[in-house]
Structure 1
């Protein structure tokens, strides 16, 4: 990786800017654009610790730009070798998640950093401490978050909440998944051809009876059916379920937990950062006829 020649050495302490204790959001917290703006404002004020906290909070929520900015900031602590390693970790994470500027730092595409280089503020989603989280995010926090969405996206978020109980899925977990997948954009398409609100790939869509991936109603039904299938398969373990939703259940089986993929690890951290609990809390059975679960023995991902 080439050096960041235009950046000066930031000397703040022997600790790195990524070694602060991670914050656990309990009230919804600032939206990603606000975190990035606050980080930039702190940079202009030369408050590098505060900038690192804002950028790491954004990175924990899955912001690729937050990952990149934290990496660049850590690399500016040139007199602290640990910070250099952490900076490379963050830039590699951002590069693997498709950040164009981060990709320019690597001569070898696909470089995967060592996990011991992970900044303390970005905890490993496979760490045992996650098992202590028992209570999901409150319904009030979810409502406050959804109220910040524009009218169209809020409409689909409410639809997700309405339909989730018919599949035995906690609406709060369903919201967490869709938030991470598409941020409630029904026309989102990923570089890997995952499509729609719940970012279904064609094989998964076919398996769960979705004919039109960009039809929001069908996409929600198929995504919830797949999410229910994963929850049952992994005995309501949110860590393994969310990892499987991102990387496929085959990858989770092979690695006996969260795969060592930076993208998947960041994804799991983002789900837990919003849902909070590591065990799924099934909702009460809704009134009326339950939605059918369409499945077969084939593996839709991984």
Structure 2
């Protein structure tokens, strides 16, 4: 029975979404203890070695599937608020990786990582509802694009650091390491999704023009 239980556990751990080197030991009561982080405990012995890239590959596969699942909601929000579908996808990719249940250490929630105040401001009652979160986050993006005259870089910076930080920085990207890294990351996703054809149709329907500062 113990061997069967171990075999079932190992089979589950070997699934693509959870691959890692697995260590185990059996205590004096016959209980099997398993971990992927033995942390120097000499009782553990490796029972399974798996490729270190498996977790990343599984995460990428999950992200692709989730992105496809949310496209109908994203397309509707893009048309409703006049924001490029590619931009919405870019922000979601950078913020949560399409994890609708994501919560940041600062309290940002859901797909577009809305802070409680932002969620309230844009009528989001349940930030973990994909539709409400996407609508609220897209409405916020539309507001930021209007606020900064269609300047995509500044709107993205404000999404991360807040509008006031951009204004106080003389209408430049604020000198925060997080924001300085965030803007090119989102722009990278944005260009990738545009190249894949996302957003072009939405921009044509809404007449949206997004201008980036040189």
TM-score between the two structures when normalised by the length of structure 1: 0.43
Task: Encode CA deviations 1:55-101: one digit per residue, 9 max, x unaligned.
Answer: xxxxxxxxxxxxxxxxxxxxxxxxxxxxxxxxxxxxxxxxxxxxxxx
Is the contact between residue 161 and residue 175 of structure 1 (CA under 8 Å) also seen in structure 2?
no
Aligned with 1:273: secondary structure? helix
Q: Equivalent residue for 1:283?
A: 203
Q: Which runs of 5+ in 2 are unaligned?
A: 1-59, 193-198, 207-214
Query: 1:130-279 alignment to 2 at 5 Å?
Result: 149-256=63-170, 257-276=172-191
Q: How far did residue 153 of structure 1 move?
A: 4.2
Q: How far did residue 161 of structure 1 move?
A: 2.9
- Matches of 2:160 and 2:72, distance apart in 1: 23
Q: How far did residue 283 of structure 1 move?
A: 1.2
Q: How far did residue 244 of structure 1 move?
A: 0.1
Q: Which runs of 5+ in 1 are unaligned?
A: 1-145, 287-302
Structure ID, larger Rg:
2
Q: How far did residue 285 of structure 1 move?
A: 3.1
Q: 1:157 to 1:188 in 2, by over 3 A?
A: farther
- Matches of 1:239 and 1:163, distance apart in 2: 21
- Matches of 2:72 and 2:177, distance apart in 1: 31
Q: 1:148 to 1:161 in 2, by over 3 A?
A: farther
Q: 1:176 to 1:200 in 2, by over 3 A?
A: same
Q: How far did residue 165 of structure 1 move?
A: 1.9
CA RMSD of aligned residues (A): 2.4
Higher strand share: 2
Query: 1:24-103 alignment to 2 at 5 Å?
Result: none
Q: How far did residue 147 of structure 1 move?
A: 8.3
Task: Encode CA deviations 1:192-250: one digit per residue, 9 max, x unaligned.
Answer: 10000110001001111111111111111111110000001111111100000000000
